[in-house]
C-alpha cells in the first residue's frame, strides 16, 4: 500500500491561535497527500464531525490547536495503516522542555501509574507499539480511517471530552483494531496554572461519567475508585463526631496512612523521572488534586446525567471550516 492521503483536522475557538500549524509546515510528508482543515466554533465534537464530512483524505488525523507534531509523525502513523484491520492509530502527548516547573509536575502526575493509572500511556512513551484500547489513546494525537469514522457516525456531539473514547467503545464492539505507537508522539504544553490543572482533572472525571451514560458497556469498576476515595477523604473531616474505639480508629485511618505512603513513594519516583528533586515537594499535592478532582468530576457527572438533558444548541452557522495551505 502506498502512503495514504491524510486530512489533518484541528478544532479551535473563534479567533483562537492555531499553534499546531507552525510545525506542520516542516512535516515530512508529501504535500499532495496532505490537507489541513481548521474548524472554528464552540462545540469541538461537532467541529470535528463537520470537518471530517468535508475531508478528502483516506485518514483523518485529529490534532488540538496546540499539538506540536514532529516532522516524522505522519510517516510513522501511515505505515500502520498497511494493515487493513487497523481502524485507528495514535500516540502519546509529551510535555515539552520549554514548559515551566509546575507544568512539568502536571505532566509527571498524569504519566505516573499512581496518578494516570490505566491512561498514563497517553502522556509518556510506554512500551512497544501494540494493539490498544481507548484507555491508551487521546484525541490530541489520534487518527482514524475516514470510511470507518464516517461509517460509525463520527463523534457523539453530546460529549466533550471523552468523545473519542465513546467512539472507540462503539468501534471496538464491532471488532475494530486500534494501535498505540509510542514513537508517534508529539509535544503539547500542560495547563498553565494549578487552577487550570484542577479544572482539567475535574473535567476528565465528568467526561468519563458522561461517556458511561452514553455507552455503559465501557464502564469499569476502577472508575469508581477516585470518587470512593473522595467520599472517604471528606468523612475524615467528621471523624470526631463518631464514637469509635481505639482499634476502630486505627482501622478507619489505615487507608489514608497507606495513601500517604504510596503518595510519597510515587512522588519520589516522579521527581527522579523528571530529573528535578524539587518536584518531590509538590507532587503529593498534585496527586491529591488529581484523585480528588477526578472523583468530584465523576460524581458531578453522575448527578448531572440523572437530570433531563437540555436540547443541544444548533450549530448551523456556528462552525466555520477553512482549508489551510502549508
Four-residue CA torsion sign, 282, 288, 294, 300: negative
pLDDT in the model for residue 11: 98
Task: Spell out, as residue ranges, where the chain has pLDDT lower than 70.
Answer: 1, 240-245, 247, 306-317
Instruction: Quick: pLDDT tens for 143-172.
Output: 999 999 999 999 999 999 999 999 999 999
Domain boundaries defined on the chain: 6-190, 210-305
Q: Cβ(135)–Cβ(119) under 8 Å?
A: yes
C-alpha dihedral, 133 to 134 to 138 to 141, nearest 10°: 50
Full-model pTM = 0.94
pLDDT in the model for residue 220: 85
Instruction: Quick: pLDDT tens for 90-143.
Output: 999 999 999 999 999 999 999 999 999 999 999 999 999 999 999 999 999 999
Query: How many whole angstroms separate alpha carbon 257 and alpha carbon 239?
Result: 15
Pick from 61, 83, 69, 56: nearest CA to 28: 69
pLDDT in the model for residue 308: 60
pLDDT in the model for residue 140: 98
Judged on CB neighbours under 10 Å (0-12, 13-18, 19+), 202 is buried
Q: What is the domain class of 6-190 according to CATH?
A: alpha beta
Residues 6+ apart with CB under 8 A from 190: 95, 99, 103, 104, 106, 107, 110, 197
What is the chain's percent helix, strand, coil content, to nearest 5? 50, 15, 35
Amino acid at each position: 500500500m502506498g502512503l495514504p492521503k491524510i486530512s489533518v483536522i484541528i478544532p479551535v475557538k473563534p479567533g483562537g491561535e492555531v499553534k499546531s500549524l507552525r510545525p506542520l509546515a516542516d512535516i515530512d510528508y508529501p504535500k499532495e497527500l496532505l490537507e489541513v482543515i481548521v474548524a472554528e466554533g464552540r462545540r469541538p465534537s461537532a467541529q470535528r464531525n463537520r470537518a471530517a464530512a468535508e475531508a478528502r483524505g483516506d485518514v483523518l488525523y485529529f490534532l488540538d490547536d496546540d499539538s506540536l507534531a514532529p516532522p516524522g509523525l505522519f510517516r510513522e502513523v501511515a505505515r500502520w495503516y498497511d494493515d487493513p484491520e487497523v481502524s485507528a492509530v495514535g500516540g502519546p502527548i509529551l510535555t515539552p522542555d520549554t514548559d515551566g516547573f509546575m507544568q512539568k509536575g502536571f505532566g509527571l502526575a498524569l504519566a505516573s501509574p499512581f496518578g494516570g493509572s490505566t491512561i498514563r500511556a497517553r502522556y509518556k512513551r510506554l512500551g512497544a507499539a501494540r494493539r490498544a484500547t481507548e484507555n491508551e489513546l487521546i484525541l490530541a494525537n489520534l487518527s482514524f480511517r475516514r470510511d470507518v469514522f464516517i461509517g460509525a457516525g463520527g463523534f457523539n456531539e453530546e460529549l466533550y471530552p471523552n468523545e473519542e473514547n465513546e467512539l472507540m467503545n462503539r468501534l471496538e464492539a464491532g471488532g475494530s483494531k486500534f494501535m498505540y505507537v509510542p514513537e508517534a508522539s508529539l509535544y503539547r504544553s500542560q495547563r498553565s496554572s494549578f487552577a487550570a490543572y484542577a479544572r482539567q482533572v475535574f473535567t476528565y472525571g465528568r467526561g468519563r461519567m458522561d461517556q458511561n451514560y452514553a455507552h455503559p458497556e465501557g464502564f469499569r469498576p476502577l472508575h469508581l475508585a477516585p470518587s470512593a476515595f473522595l467520599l472517604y477523604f471528606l468523612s475524615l473531616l467528621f471523624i470526631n463526631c463518631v464514637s469509635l474505639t481505639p482499634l476502630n480508629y486505627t482501622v478507619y485511618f489505615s487507608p489514608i496512612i497507606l495513601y500517604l505512603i504510596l503518595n510519597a513513594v510515587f512522588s519520589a519516583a516522579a521527581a527522579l523521572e523528571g530529573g528535578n528533586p524539587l518536584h518531590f515537594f509538590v507532587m503529593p499535592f498534585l496527586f491529591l488534586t488529581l484523585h480528588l478532582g477526578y472523583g468530584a468530576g465523576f460524581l458531578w457527572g453522575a448527578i448531572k446525567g440523572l437530570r433531563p438533558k437540555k436540547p443541544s444548541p444548533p450549530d448551523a452557522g456556528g462552525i466555520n471550516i477553512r482549508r489551510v495551505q502549508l
